[in-house]
């Protein structure tokens, strides 16, 4: 018995060590970016920064703090994930529930399921996509970043498969008690599907937060850019048309590497702060104690 416990203890130690090492490898890029952002311009230019700031400096953050365009883009992204995340989850639930039913309950389930699935394989193309959004009058509006992807088909597939695993006895008992589909959905299916809903919500938040291409295409006014589009314009394209002359002069006194690192690090903080609150749901069971005896 003691040998068995000793083997389990050794395995736990080795497993924990491996997981800590793997987690550190995943965090290394972010730690390096943070270290560069808090380092001096000379240290960053000399490539002497690894995982700890060299000659600690807040100059880059002070410059970013004075950039109203950065905070306006941050606000746009926050609005986008708040509206986009809520709409994505709501529509995913409303689409996945009927598609999770048997054909005898929903006659055209297979047809609609394939109709949604084919949209993952074939797209109309960038130009028709842009023309439809323009004709709807959404250009330069926050809804242009939300409505085109309002129904994430991949999340629908995940959730409908999750709904199929919910014991039928639960819904049958609800129908016997006089509940309709609407009550069954919100009183039974949604509460027991918290892990799946947390997963698709996280997918939605990360997708909206990291998206930058649609902001460049659908926003003619740079003031309406979401954060990632703003960072892509300043950091990647190095387009300084959005900067005033004074800001350009201030930028000349700051290392380009530390400034980019500061903006990237600030841009990643919100989604990183949200993840721990959703991660705990990933390890929960699908339906625990839903049907007894």
Each residue of 211-264: pLDDT tens digit? Answer: 888 888 998 888 888 988 887 777 665 555 555 566 555 555 566 677 778 877
- Give yes or no: residues 152 and 239 share one domain: yes
Last residue in a domain, options 57, 73, 100: 57
* Domain, as residue range, for 134: 61-283
CA atoms of 57 and 54, how far apart (whole Å)? 8
Residue 51 lies in a domain: yes
| Greater pLDDT, 254 or 54 | 54
- Give yes or no: residues 107 and 240 share one domain: yes
Residue 128 lies in a domain: yes
- Give yes or no: residues 39 and 71 share one domain: no
- Give yes or no: residues 32 and 73 share one domain: no
Global pTM value: 0.76
Question: What CATH code is carried by the domain that includes residue 101?
Answer: 1.10.3720.10
Residue 258 lies in a domain: yes
């Amino acid at each position: 018995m003691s040998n068995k416990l000793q083997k389990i203890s050794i395995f736990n130690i080795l497993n924990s060590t491996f997981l800590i090492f793997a987690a550190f490898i995943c965090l290394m890029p972010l730690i390096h970016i943070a270290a560069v952002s808090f380092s001096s311009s000379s240290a960053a230019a000399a490539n002497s920064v690894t995982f700890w700031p060299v000659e600690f400096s807040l100059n880059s953050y002070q410059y970013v703090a004075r950039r109203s365009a950065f905070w306006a883009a941050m606000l746009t992204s926050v609005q986008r994930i708040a509206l986009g995340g809520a709409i994505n989850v709501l529509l995913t639930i409303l689409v996945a529930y009927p598609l999770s039913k048997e054909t005898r309950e929903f006659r055209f389930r297979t047809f609609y399921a394939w109709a949604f699935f084919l949209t993952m394989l074939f797209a109309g193309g960038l130009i028709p996509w842009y023309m439809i959004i323009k004709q709807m009058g959404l250009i330069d509006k926050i809804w242009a970043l939300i409505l085109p992807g309002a129904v994430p088909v991949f999340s629908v597939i995940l959730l409908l498969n999750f709904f199929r695993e919910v014991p039928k006895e639960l819904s049958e008992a609800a129908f016997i008690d006089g509940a309709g589909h609407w009550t069954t959905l919100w009183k039974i299916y949604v509460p027991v599907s918290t892990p799946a809903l947390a997963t698709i919500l996280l997918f939605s938040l990360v997708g909206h937060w990291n998206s930058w291409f649609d902001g460049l295409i659908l926003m003619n006014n740079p003031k309406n850019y979401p954060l990632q589009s703003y960072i892509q314009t300043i950091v990647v394209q190095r387009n300084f048309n959005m900067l005033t002359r004074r800001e350009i002069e201030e930028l000349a006194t700051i290392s380009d590497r530390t400034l980019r690192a500061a903006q990237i690090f600030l841009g990643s903080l919100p989604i990183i702060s949200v993840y721990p609150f959703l991660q705990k749901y990933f390890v929960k069971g699908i339906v625990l104690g839903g049907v007894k005896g």
